[in-house]
């Protein structure tokens, strides 16, 4: 599996322009096959999303690496992730940031991700069952916020929980989705589109 990870990073990620060495190292380190249901393990290092149950997916490796690089992590950040899923993106983030707080609305996924991350030793991640649209106000502000599901529009509550100088990376939109990078600085919020993507919709709580 280690050789497959090397090929994944070289052919799918580096070859497409991701160059942050810390991100590439994290992508080589985290064993993606341990975050995927058994039936799909043979496809773990292929460059596409895979189902993880409950109508959710684990993102393709290139998109995980690209979004992580856009976060510009240097190791001291407090990160909020919306959409824990299997825990794979959280594991990557935990190797690159100081603290990772992750919210998952699908209770079975949240519980299994929490167990999996603990068993694999990713102890910088806290997982909460909850509505990602509300964020995690008790732990705010966050230096980085990353969404792994697509809301029609970025919730204002999440932008409010972003620290000054903070970065938010997310897919945005319904049928047509854009990967956007938001920077909050001095009370001003700037947004740029990076590329077009396809994510599962972000689920709203009751």
The pTM score is 0.96
CATH class label, 2-197? alpha beta
Known active-site residue 59: yes
Which residue out of 19, 43, 59, 150 is catalytically annotated? Answer: 59
> Is 91:148 a contact under the CB 8 Å cutoff?
no
- Tens digits of residue pLDDT in 53-101: 999 999 999 999 999 999 999 999 999 999 999 999 999 999 999 999 9
Provide φ and ψ at 109, rounded to 5°: -65, -45
> Is 125:30 a contact under the CB 8 Å cutoff?
no
- Tens digits of residue pLDDT in 128-149: 999 999 999 999 999 999 999 9
């Amino acid at each position: 599996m280690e050789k497959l990870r090397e090929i994944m990073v070289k052919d799918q990620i580096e070859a497409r322009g991701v160059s942050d060495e810390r991100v590439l190292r994290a992508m080589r380190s985290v064993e993606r096959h341990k975050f995927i249901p058994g039936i799909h393990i043979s496809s773990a290092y292929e460059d596409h999303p895979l189902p993880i149950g409950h109508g959710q997916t684990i993102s393709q490796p290139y998109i995980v690496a690209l979004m992580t690089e856009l976060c510009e992590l240097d190791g001291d950040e407090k990160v909020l992730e919306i959409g824990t899923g299997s825990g794979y993106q959280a594991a990557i983030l935990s190797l690159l940031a100081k603290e990772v707080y992750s919210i998952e609305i699908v209770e079975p996924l949240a519980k299994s991700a929490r167990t999996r991350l603990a068993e694999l030793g990713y102890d910088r991640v806290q997982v909460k069952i909850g509505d990602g649209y509300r964020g995690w106000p008790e732990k705010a502000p966050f230096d980085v916020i990353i969404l792994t599901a697509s809301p029609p529009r970025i919730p204002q509550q999440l932008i409010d929980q972003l620290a000054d100088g903070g970065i938010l990376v997310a897919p945005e939109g319904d049928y047509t989705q854009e990967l956007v990078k938001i920077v909050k600085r001095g009370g001003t919020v700037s947004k740029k589109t990076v590329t077009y993507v396809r994510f599962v919709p972000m689920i709203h709580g009751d």
